[in-house]
Amino acid sequence: MRKLRVKSSSGGYDVLVGRGAWRALRRTKGYSSTFVLTEPGLWNRWGKKFSREAGVPGMKPLLVPAGEASKSLMWAGKIASQLLDRGADRRSLLIAFGGGVVGDLGGFVASTFMRGIDYVQAPTTILAQVDSSMGGKTAVNIRAMKNLVGTICAPKLVVSDPCVLASMTPRAFRSGLYEVVKHGILSGPGLFNWLERIVPGLRAKDAPLLETLVVRAAQVKVDVVSRDEREAELRQVLNLGHTFGHAIEEATGYRRFLHGEAVAWGLLMVTRLAELAGVLELAAGKRIARLVRAVGPLPGITGVREERVLGLLTRDKKAVGGKVLWILPERIGKVRLTSDVSRDAVVRAFREVQRGEWNA
């Protein structure tokens, strides 16, 4: 098991990664009661094991339906009133046991319930283990706007046990791996070269290897958020591939692609864009494309309407005054933030990747 440390304005917290990480919950003392926010399917599959290892007496589950729709003010309200009904007070602890949806919702409820109670992240998807559980960003969606309302509030602790990844569907597993590829590009040759070696044969049940993968990819997030908790500048690099990715997700009504799959297409497009803008080292584009493809098959992108995607780019949260702030890879381990990219290049990058004309 490995311990990473996030520095934050509230003092910082540990991120424990590895088999047995849940046992660290035994050390959480002094709470009047402990609640676990989770989803029914996940709790059925893992609840017993989690409860046994966490060893917190009288832990009470609170269930929300699986899926992004639960990240809502309505569900935040329901959870808060259930907490109240079941005896929670200012000294209660909330554990978010689930993927990014449960983590974001749980963090939001904890940071606002009675003006804030402590919470712990126990992430159960790759995305949550390497990304969303760390950094303290919490949120709910309002209508179609993702993460419109939220807080920044650090968890007390993050406990990631990769054993839970064994129950992910192969598709959801791959979807998370695309985000790991993103971390590899941001991090540098150490992680990237290693991913090139292990990704082609990686399986969700390969526990020891996954443990190393989660540790190494989570470290990238820890480093970024430890330096920049409020996303002034540095934290934006984590959005690599997400400008195109979010637009593609929205253009297809969030039905055709899982989030990581849309990000994978976004990574390919933004890498091509960096080439066209003349900022990317020559051989790097090929390697990035090859690693994205090595994760496995992506749902096709033909038929996704170009005008729709391009129109949505300027609605990105990072866009200022209608200008998109692009995060372009320069080489493995370095990105550049710039708005100085021609519309022609953006159109070309989208088209060439969509038509399979670039490193397909």
Ligand X SMILES: NC(=O)c1ccc[n+]([C@@H]2O[C@H](COP(=O)([O-])OP(=O)(O)OC[C@H]3O[C@@H](n4cnc5c(N)ncnc54)[C@H](O)[C@@H]3O)[C@@H](O)[C@H]2O)c1
| Termini Cα distance of the chain | 38
Give the E-state strand segments of the chain in sequence order.
2-6, 13-17, 33-38, 60-63, 92-98, 118-123, 137-142, 145-152, 157-160, 326-331, 334-338
**By the rule CB under 6 A, 68 interacts with ligand X:** yes
- Tell me the closest approach of the beta carbon of residue 259 to ligand X, in angstroms: 6
| CB of residue 45 to ligand X, shortest distance in Å | 7
Helix (H) or strand (E) holding 109: helix 100-112
For ligand X, give the closer residue by CB, 172 or 341: 172
Q: Does 130 bind ligand X (CB under 6 A)?
A: no
* Residue 192 CB neighbour total at 10 angstroms: 20
Query: Active-site positions?
Result: 115, 137, 179, 221, 231, 235, 239, 242, 246, 259
Q: Applying CB under 6 A, what is the total number of residues that bind ligand X?
A: 29
- Asked if 100 interacts with ligand X (CB under 6 A), we say yes
The beta strands (E) that lie in 222-338 are given as 326-331, 334-338
How far apart are the C-alpha atoms of 60 and 41, rounded to whole Å?
A: 16
Position among 51, 137, 187, 264 found at the interface with ligand X (CB under 6 A): 137
Binding of ligand X at residue 252 (CB under 6 A)?
no
Nearest to 271 by CA among 298, 296, 291: 291
Per CB under 6 A, the list member of 146, 216, 242, 287 interacting with ligand X is 146
From candidates 59, 62, 164, 191, binder to ligand X by CB under 6 A = 164
What is the full DSSP assignment across 34-103? Answer: EEEEE-HHHHHHHHHHHHHHH--TT-EEEE--SSGGGSBHHHHHHHHHHHHHTT--TTEEEEEEESHHHH
259 binds ligand X (CB under 6 A): yes
Tell me: does residue 101 bind ligand X (CB under 6 A): yes
Build a one-symbol-per-residue string for 275-314: x at contacts with ligand X by CB under 6 A, - elsewhere: ----------------------------------------
254 in Cβ contact with 307 (< 8 Å): no
* Closest separation in Å from C-beta 105 to ligand X: 9
Q: How far apart are CA 305 and CA 285, in angstroms?
A: 25
Segment interacting with ligand X (CB under 6 A) among 82-90, 166-174, 249-257, 278-286: 166-174
Q: Establish if 99 lies at the interface with ligand X (CB under 6 A).
A: yes
- Is residue 124 a contact point for ligand X (CB under 6 A)? yes
Give residues in contact with ligand X (CB under 6 A): 39, 41-42, 66-68, 71, 98-102, 104, 124-125, 127-128, 131-132, 135, 137, 146-147, 164-165, 167-168, 172, 259
